[in-house]
Amino acid sequence: MPSKPRASKYISLNVLNDLGSRSARRRFIWTFIILAAVTALSYWSASLLEPENTWSNFIRSVSSNLFSAALTVLVVYGAYIYFIREDIERPEIETLRPGDISDEIKELPEDTAFYFLWARSATYFRAETLQRLSDNARKARKTIDVTILLPDPQIKNLSEVYEDMVGILGENDGKDKLFKNAVATSAACALAAANNRNLKVRVCLSNFIPSFRIDMSDRGAILTEDDKSLYALKFSRQSQFFEMFRSMIISEVELSRTVDLSAYQWKKHRAGDEDIPVEALLSFGFPEDRVREYREEIFSIIKPKDHRYK
């Protein structure tokens, strides 16, 4: 009779995964390192006082005990991480602490043949992920197929909904943000693809605006929300939900409008160049009047300096 599958195989809400959390691990280790350093400094300071001083003896006694305890905890926890944690099978669905999302999402572009992104602004993708994909493709000398799915900014209802969403998040820094980000993302992708023959990029504009963000590669899929203080979900490649999201994205891509990234010779430019003509942005087929109106803002965010996981 086959044994019943463990619940932790599908979703992790157990103590071992909490102890193995990267952000929790960093906080834990640094807390005890600081404690050890403070107690060592206290012991040294007390040693400078008179040997017969009662307070000096008391401080040295307490400091030495706390220092020994801190070192013991660090050694035991280090042994746990080294001997036990690595042998734990990662679940098909894993909850990610807010502090762990950044580390996990940075690993997705590594050693992969494809990358899917279904988002709204793709700010983080332009700032970090696209460059990682380009570097990995060049280093491994293999082709990486990248598909970006964004809401179509030329659909008025989608732009209005997006403005409401960012307004709730307190991001009221200008209008037509959906339009600006769609053009900026197209430009960033065109620049990257033109300057790396191993990077094949496609930008599609959907009739749907998602309430979440999905990053997907051979290493798994991560579903996140706008509020970076919320938990995320990571789906392994073996999870049925991975294939569900992949099929959903592929279907949405087939129903979406594709941006022509090859209508202009982007190869002669680099991200951050100030001499990129407005004709380069117009080659994507977006309304000319709006592109010209927001030209400077679009160029300034092609490779943004700030993003949610900085």
3-state SS class at 31 = helix
pLDDT at residue number 267:
82
Is residue 5 over pLDDT 70?
Answer: no
pLDDT value at residue 29: 84
3-state secondary structure of 275: coil
Percent of the chain with pLDDT over 90: 39
Separation of alpha carbons 301 and 181, rounded Å = 8
Rounded-to-integer distance, Cα 204 and Cα 52, Å = 78
Q: What is the pLDDT of residue 75?
A: 86
Whole-angstrom distance, CA of residue 238 vs CA of residue 229: 27
Region 218-241 average pLDDT: 88
Residue 18, pLDDT score: 55
Q: Is 15 helix (H, G, I), strand (E, B) or coil?
A: helix
Check pLDDT > 50 for residue 144: yes
Q: What is the pLDDT of residues 254-274, one digit of tens each?
A: 999 999 998 888 887 776 566
* Cα angle 226-204-197, degrees, rounded to a multiple of 5: 105
- Give 228's pLDDT tier (boundaries 50, 70, 90): confident
| Edge-to-edge order in the sheet of strand 93-96 | 93-96, 232-235, 220-224, 213-217, 114-118, 144-151, 199-206, 257-258
